[in-house]
Amino acid sequence: MLKYTLFFLTIIPVLSFAQKEPFKLCDSVYVNKRQSQYYSYDTKYPLSSEKLTEEVNQTLTFQPKQINGFVTIRFMVNCKGQTGNFEIYQIDNNYQNTKFDEKYIEQLLIFIKTLDNWKIAFYKEYKIDYFTYFTFKIEHGKVTEIVP
Amino acid sequence: MMFSSFAQNDSILKAKKEKYITKKHWHKFSYNSSEWQMYLDSALAIEPKYAYLWQQKSMPNFKSGKYYDGMKFLNKAVEYDTLAWLGYRGFMKCVFMKDYANAIIDLKAIYKKRPIDQTMDHSFPFWIGISYLKLGKLDSADYYLSLSVNNALLKSKEAVHYVDWFYWGLTKYKQKKYKDALSCFENAMAQNSHFPDVEYYKAMVLLQLNQNEEAKALLVQAKANIVNGYRMNEDNESYANYPYQITTFEIDEVLEKL
């Protein structure tokens, strides 16, 4: 049963231009216990949700009217502030799993890859990797909200 | 013989309830772990209609943006105890999903059933009001936020939450009712002197009134507050930005123009 679709960025060569060196986890503290979450380290992306929403819409060239729902892209930010290990979850307005046009999803991934101001998380003096995500609320192909 | 067997089974069930439910065995693990879900499943095998257990299963999913599972489990909680969890579901739709239109449906329904209660430190009209604010329905936002503030004022001025004042003021600002907005913002600041969002939006009002120097000073103060770690003082702010919550970026953007 296909509950959700996973894309790993490494298999989408078109996106590789955005990051020069390959993504690697580099956490030396929680190497075998990768459960650090953005909210435990005050590392939400330092732009308001409203500003991010405005910016993502400026980058979307493909906005099919039939796309309505939520796309969550969950990923890791490593100790260097780089992003990788992307997972994608898609639901419709009734909160049921669905699958939107891959071309549309790719645009959202590219947008995340272009963000370059991720906060570094610290445990004591050590830089650590952490999970974070963006959820895009979409109405007729336009992003109307971004969580968090 | 049969009686003895029943008694033994009853004793085993009691022991399992004590271990898996009463002592919240799942709380021994991180809520992001598989053990958290597994021990909740064990508890639900004993008490399948215990709404709180379903809410506990849903919560980590919402905090990870996994709304399909989060909502599936939370719907179970609402099904088994609507009075306890409908308002919470409205809150989750409002803050964790920014799905304001659907949040309003839940929140209005629970407000009818529990008019004087609240969830996450705020009245149901408060959550309805900020949902309308985000949808751009300013008259409705004004109505519900004034309801939230005025209901609290029946007790005392101190009973009004400063975040209620803030969002009512923000609504007034967007309605271009600048004098009313200033009054609300000043009430918020009287209760919390380290509230960068209210300082920023008060500065926006002052700019509309051509009081540029006072606005600039407030923006500088707002930025200093953020740099020093002050935020909108809400329990769930670390998980999700609240509506119109600002960052230093927005402040710098305005300061550069002054």
Domain CATH code at residue B254: 1.25.40.10
Range with the lowest mean pLDDT among B15-29, B149-163, B237-251?
B15-29
Banded model confidence at residue A2, pLDDT cuts 50, 70, 90? very low
Banded model confidence at residue A19, pLDDT cuts 50, 70, 90? low
* Phi, psi of A69, deg, nearest 5: 145, -145
CB burial string B131-165: b at 16+ within 10 A, e below: bbbbeebbebbbebbbbbbebbeeeeeeebbbbbb
Q: How far apart are CA B231 and CA B156, in angstroms?
A: 25
Range with the lowest mean pLDDT among A26-40, A96-110, B10-24, B220-234?
A26-40
- The answer to whether residue B43 sits within a structural domain is no
At residue B236, the pLDDT reads 95
Place of tokens 């919402």: B62
Answer yes or no: are the C-beta atoms of B88 and B55 closer than 8 Å.
yes
Q: Are strands A126-128 and B122-123 parallel, antiparallel or unpaired?
A: unpaired
Q: Given a cut of 70, is residue A4 above it in pLDDT? A: no
Q: Which B residues, 57 through 116, put their C-beta within 8 Å of a C-beta on chain A?
A: 63-68, 71-72, 96-99
- The answer to whether residue B150 sits within a structural domain is no
- The answer to whether residue B245 sits within a structural domain is yes
Banded model confidence at residue A31, pLDDT cuts 50, 70, 90? low
The reported pTM is 0.91
3-state SS, one letter per residue, for B235-253:
CCCCCCCCCCCCCHHHHHH
Task: Say yes or no for a CB contact (<8 Å) between B33 and A145.
Answer: no
The count of other CB atoms within 10 Å of the CB of residue B188 is: 26
Q: Given a cut of 60, is residue A12 above it in pLDDT? A: no
**Could you tell me which residue, A15 or A51, shows the higher pLDDT?**
A51
Q: What is each CA distance from B246 to B37, B178, B195, B220, B221, in whole angstroms? A: 35, 20, 11, 14, 14
Residue in A with minimal Cα distance to B246: A48
Please indicate if any CB of chain A lies within 8 Å of the CB of B233.
Answer: no
> Could you tell me the two tokens for B217?
């000073």
Quote the number of domains for chain B.
Answer: 1
Domain extent, residue B196, equals 162-258
At residue A125, the pLDDT reads 86
> Could you tell me the two tokens for A17?
């231009």
Q: How far apart are CA B253 and CA B258, in angstroms?
A: 9
Answer yes or no: are the C-beta atoms of B61 and B75 closer than 8 Å.
no
- The answer to whether residue B242 sits within a structural domain is yes
Mean pLDDT, residues B94-122 taken together = 97
For residue B195, give the nearest of B233, B244, B227, B149 by alpha carbon: B233
As a dihedral over the C-alpha atoms of residue A34, residue A40, residue A43, residue A48, rounded to 10 degrees, the angle is: 130
**Could you tell me which residue, B5 or A56, shows the higher pLDDT?**
A56
User: DSSP string of B80-123?
Assistant: H-HHHHHHHHHHIIIIIS--HHHHHHHHHHHHHH-TT-EETTEE
Range with the lowest mean pLDDT among A28-32, B86-90, B167-171, B246-250?
A28-32
Spell out the domain ranges in chain A: 24-147
Q: Given a cut of 70, is residue A15 above it in pLDDT? A: no
Mean pLDDT, residues B92-114 taken together = 98
Interface pTM, i.e. ipTM? 0.92
Q: Given a cut of 80, is residue B152 above it in pLDDT? A: yes
**Could you tell me which residue, B22 or A90, shows the higher pLDDT?**
A90
Q: Given a cut of 90, is residue B104 above it in pLDDT? A: yes
In A, what residues contact B, Cβ < 8 A? Answer: 3-4, 35, 37, 39-40, 42, 44, 46-51, 70, 72, 74, 89, 91, 95-97, 131, 133-135, 137, 145-148
Residue in A with minimal Cα distance to B70: A95
Assign B155 to helix, strand or coil: coil
For the four alpha carbons of A70, A37, B233 and B254, in that order, the dihedral sign comes to negative
pLDDT digits (tens, 9 = 90+) for B125-150: 999 999 999 999 999 999 999 999 99
- The answer to whether residue B69 sits within a structural domain is no
